[in-house]
Every structure is written in C-alpha cells, then in structure tokens.
Amino acid sequence: MDKEQLIFDYLDNNCSESEKETVENLLITDAEFKTLFLELSAIHKLLEDNLVIEAPKSFTGRVMSQISPGLKFDFQFSEFSKWLAVITAVLSLIFSLQKLGYIPEEYQYFSSQILVLAIALALVFVIIETFMSLQGRKNMSI
Amino acid sequence: MRKLEYSDEDLIDLVISGDHNAYRKIVDKYKNYVFSAVYKIISHSEDAEDVAQETFVKAFRALESFDGRSKFSTWLYKIAINTAISHRRKKKFYTQDIEEVQINDTVSIGGSMKQQEQKEYLQKAFQLLGEDDVTMLTLFYLKELSLEEIAEITDFEANNVKVKLYRARKRLAEKMKLILKSEAKSLL
C-alpha cells in the first residue's frame, strides 16, 4: 500500500492494528513521511471543518411556497424582532386607548409623543431586519 | 400527547397523507447539507440556491415513489447531486485552470488561516477539480456517508468509490499546494 493511502486510511480510522502501528512508527522514524502526514491531515481537517455551508435564512420558506403556493410565505424573524413586534403592538394599543379616552388622565404614564416615538423606533428595527433578511440571499458568504 | 421528534419515515407518511407542512421539517433538517453539496459542485451561490430548492421540489413531487429501500437522505442526495451535475453541464461550468482562479486575500501557509479564508481556499481548490472528485469529496465529508451509500448515490461500485475518493483527496491536496504556492509567489 502506498504511503498516501495508508495515511488516509489512518485518518479515516479505517486501518488494521498493524497498519496503525506502522503509521505511528513512521511518524517517529521517517521525517519525509511525517511531512506528508501533516499535509494530508491538514487537508482532511480542512474538509471536515469547512464543508457545511448554511443555507440562506428564507430557504425553507421559498421551497414551501413552490410546493404549496397556498401556504403562507415563511419569513423568519429573529427573536429580537418578534419581541419588538409584540412591544409595538402593546404600545399601539395603549396609544389608541389613550387617544380614544379610555384611559383616565391619571393613568396615562406616557405622553403621546413618547409612545409615537417608541412605536416608530420599533417599526424601524423591524423594517431594517426585514430588509436585511431579503438582502441575505444576495450577500450570502461562502 | 404531541410527538416531539419525527423520523424521516413519519414525516414522509405525513406529507404523503396530505400534510404538506410536514415537509417543512424535512427541508429544515437537510437544507444545509443539500445546499452545501450543490454549492461545492456549482461554485455559484445564487445558482446553488436555485438548484438546492429544485432538489427539494423534485423530491417532494417524487416522494410517493420513494420506496424506503435506501435511507431518505441517500435518496435526497442522489437527486441533489444529479440535479447539480446536470446544471453544471448545462451552464458549462468547466473546471478552471489555476491562472483563472482569483484569490483576493493573502494567506499564511503556517496553518493559521481564518475559517472564512479556509472556506474560500477550499472552494478555489474545488473549482480546479473534476466533477467526480468534487462529488466524492463532498459526499464523503459532508455527512459521513459510508462508501456503500456513496456508491448508491453515484452509481459507482463500492470498491471503485474508495479508489476514486483516494484519488480525489490526493488531487485536492495537490491543488491546495498549487494555490498556496502561487499565492506565496504573488506575495514575493
């Protein structure tokens, strides 16, 4: 068996005890073999560590929309954006209730301006995330 | 009580019985592997995404013909590899020469490459390899498929797969050396 095949079998955990011993002995006694071993094990590790690439965030949604156009488009928001959306909804509700006069003045802890500002800020964050998510496909790294 | 973990077989049964949403779980489980395998063959991210999506759509449409003789993942990878290879041939993504492979960043040969650089150099080396080499390496390292499973996906004999895999790794090592050497030269 040639040296490279022996090394690959060793790296794959696919060699007999005697072959394993041969590799380990050669690593001590043969400098050229050791260099080759280090090169091939570096390639082996590189492949093990770097082959899986994450699919784009909205991949599943796009597949689902192709197989069942009736299914809702699956847009994936982060947890942060989900909470922002909840907070925005609550603030909007408070704002509407205040405006409609359902909340007595002594219980109006936030001025209308602050509420509008908070709602606007939260919406901006949600819009930015939506935009970044849509851009994700184009800017995907290797 | 609601079942938390579904096997591939459970999910396939659900999809066949009309619960299309169950297919979402299948896509989520395999999307990174399918996308990575396709990307390694095509080397173009937007095309790879389209082909990976096409793979899942094809698998969905052919799901009833899946007979369970092989693992679902093996069957799915076979669709992915065949779709990617036919796309590569159609688009004429030929193997490139070392001169054509552009490398923008510098690299240290002493083994301290950052993860992104490593991925980039590996992808460049893949671009220099032939179709069979890329397929062998991708399948072997992507999800630790056995040689028998790789043989089933690629339609090669299992013994042949071992030889092809060995040659592919050897050629990849040569291409990596070539790329790093040419990069080192350009720094001088």
Going by C-alpha positions, the residue among B43, B186, B185 that lies closest to residue B128 is B43
d(CA A93, CA B177): 64
pLDDT at A89 exceeding the cut of 60: yes
More confident residue, B108 or B132: B132
- Consecutive H or E run containing B166: helix B158-187
Amino acid identity for residue B105 in this structure: D
How much is the pLDDT for A106? 74
Q: Which residues of B touch A (CB under 8 A)?
A: 20-21, 23-24, 27-28, 31-36, 39-40, 45-46, 49, 52-53, 56-57, 60-61, 111, 115-116, 118-120, 122-123, 137-138, 141-142, 166, 169-170, 172-173, 176-177
Residue B12: Cβ within 10 Å count: 20
pTM for the complete prediction?
A: 0.67
User: Inter-chain contact B120–A52, Cβ cutoff 8 Å?
Assistant: no
Q: What is the DSSP letter of A138?
A: T
How much is the pLDDT for B56? 95
Share the mean pLDDT of chain B: 81
How much is the pLDDT for B145? 80
How much is the pLDDT for A102? 81
For B56-65, what is the mean pLDDT?
92
User: Inter-chain contact B138–A142, Cβ cutoff 8 Å?
Assistant: no
User: Inter-chain contact A47–B141, Cβ cutoff 8 Å?
Assistant: yes
How much is the pLDDT for B104? 40
User: A23 and A7 in contact (C-beta within 8 Å)?
Assistant: yes
pLDDT digits (tens, 9 = 90+) for A90-103: 888 888 888 788 87
How much is the pLDDT for A96? 83
Q: Which residue of A has its CA nearest to B29?
A: A60
How much is the pLDDT for A20? 92
State the complex-level ipTM.
0.76
Going by C-alpha positions, the residue among B28, B14, B73, B82 that lies closest to residue B54 is B82
For A103-115, what is the mean pLDDT?
75
Q: What is the DSSP letter of B110?
A: T
More confident residue, A29 or B144: A29
Q: Distance from B142 to chain A by nearest Cα, in Å?
A: 6
Residue A96: Cβ within 10 Å count: 12
d(CA A101, CA A124): 27
How much is the pLDDT for A71? 53
Share the mean pLDDT of chain A: 79
Instruction: Say whether residue A140 is in contact with chain B using an 8 A CB cutoff.
Output: yes
